[in-house]
């Protein structure tokens, strides 16, 4: 039987130990406002005004009914907004961006942070208006000052990157903390990473753990992966939490996180965090390899050679060895195996590898 935990320790401790000392936040949604401009009609804009905190009449700030509550996004931070504002969000969700802008702008000018964030998103993406990151930054800033956690998160990313706003890591950190404490799950993951990097050792993990847990519960795969590593590797973790490590890793793997898929395959084969399941381990390894994870490609070759979780197949083993070697991962034992194949088997392995595209 083979055991790979030591060989993959860099992967297993990726989130816990490898974050740099400065605040380098990760836009976990996969986009940070740098999308290409959309070819959409331009809306004639009213002159914008710098807003004061939103203090509209009770009829505007009353709670929505239950049907509208169900439509709230995970990043809405539970801001109490009225029916008119939900019409703007509904229009946005249906792709009616000009209507969304027309409905949201008057409320944004009054200081409604949710409407301000919506307008910032429209400008950042170029939806319904010409893309303008200057206007996006302005409205994110207004919404952030008025307490919108989603805007605080987006502005923190922009201030960290420095491309569309003057770089300000100090304010970026403050905004990320406020957003995390306000319940934004993406900010919670980023702020947790920051705490780990600022406070190396058990103290940092202890402080970061509630933010990782909250973000994981809200479905952030990066946080689910990080939590699985903390639960299985840290000493001062209750057995109740340790028993949840594999569950969190499965959630991250199912969300498409290829490093989680690799680690889950290893855990299933080695029996980490639960019983061994060779067939499931092989399948997760295959999925990670197909997504381009080089370590998974290398390990998949070994699984085919040793017939772990699958039927032994020298052609497939040769194919995945070639793919991983081309990516720069040297493995003398696999090279010896490949050189032991017949000329026909090497040819078929090479042809199969040439069909792979990543």
- According to DSSP, residue 236 is labeled S
Annotate 341-350 with b (16+ C-beta within 10 A) or e (fewer).
beeeebebbe
| pLDDT recorded at residue 88 | 87
- Interhelix angle 332-339/294-306, rounded to 10 degrees, is 50
Model confidence at 29, pLDDT cuts 50, 70, 90, reads low
Inform me whether the pLDDT recorded for 61 exceeds 70: no
| pLDDT recorded at residue 23 | 45
- % of residues, the chain, pLDDT over 90: 68
| pLDDT recorded at residue 92 | 87
State the chain's mean pLDDT as an integer.
82
- According to DSSP, residue 296 is labeled H
Which one, of 300, 344, 291, 342, lies nearest residue 322 by Cα? 300
Model confidence at 25, pLDDT cuts 50, 70, 90, reads low
- Model confidence, pTM: 0.73
Average pLDDT over residues 195-205: 91
How far the first Cα of the chain sits from its last, in Å, is: 30
Model confidence at 60, pLDDT cuts 50, 70, 90, reads very low
């Amino acid at each position: 039987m083979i055991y790979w935990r030591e060989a993959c320790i860099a992967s297993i401790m990726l989130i816990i130990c490898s974050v740099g000392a400065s605040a380098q936040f990760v836009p976990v949604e996969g986009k940070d406002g740098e999308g290409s401009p959309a070819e959409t009609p331009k809306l004639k804009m009213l002159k914008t005004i710098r807003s004061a905190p939103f203090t509209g009449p009770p009829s505007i700030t009353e709670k929505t009914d239950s049907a509208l509550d169900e439509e709230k996004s995970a990043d809405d931070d539970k801001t109490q907004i009225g029916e008119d504002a939900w019409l703007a969000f509904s229009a946005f969700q249906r792709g009616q961006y000009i209507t969304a802008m027309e409905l949201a702008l008057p409320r944004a000018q009054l200081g409604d942070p949710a409407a301000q964030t919506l307008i910032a998103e429209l400008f950042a993406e170029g939806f319904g208006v010409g893309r303008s990151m200057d206007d996006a930054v302005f409205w994110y800033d207004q919404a952030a000052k008025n307490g919108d956690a989603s805007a605080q998160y987006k502005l923190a990313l922009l201030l960290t990157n420095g491309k569309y706003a003057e770089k300000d890591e100090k304010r970026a950190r403050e905004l990320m903390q406020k957003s995390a404490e306000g319940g934004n799950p993406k900010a919670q993951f980023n702020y947790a990473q920051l705490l780990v990097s600022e406070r190396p050792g058990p103290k940092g993990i202890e402080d970061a753990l509630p933010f990782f847990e909250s973000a994981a519960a809200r479905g952030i795969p990066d946080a689910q992966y990080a939590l699985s590593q903390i639960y299985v590797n840290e000493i001062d973790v209750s057995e109740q939490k340790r028993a949840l490590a594999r569950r969190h890793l499965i959630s991250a793997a199912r969300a498409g996180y290829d490093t989680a898929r690799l680690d889950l395959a290893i855990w299933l084969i080695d029996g980490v965090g639960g019983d061994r399941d060779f067939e499931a381990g092989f399948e997760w390894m295959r999925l990670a390899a197909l997504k381009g994870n080089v370590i998974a490609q290398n390990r998949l070759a070994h699984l085919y050679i040793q017939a772990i979780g699958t039927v032994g197949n020298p052609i497939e083993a040769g194919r995945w060895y070639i793919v991983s070697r081309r990516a720069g991962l040297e493995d003398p034992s696999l090279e010896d195996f490949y050189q032991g194949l017949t000329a026909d088997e090497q040819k078929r392995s090479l042809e199969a590898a040439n069909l792979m595209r990543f």
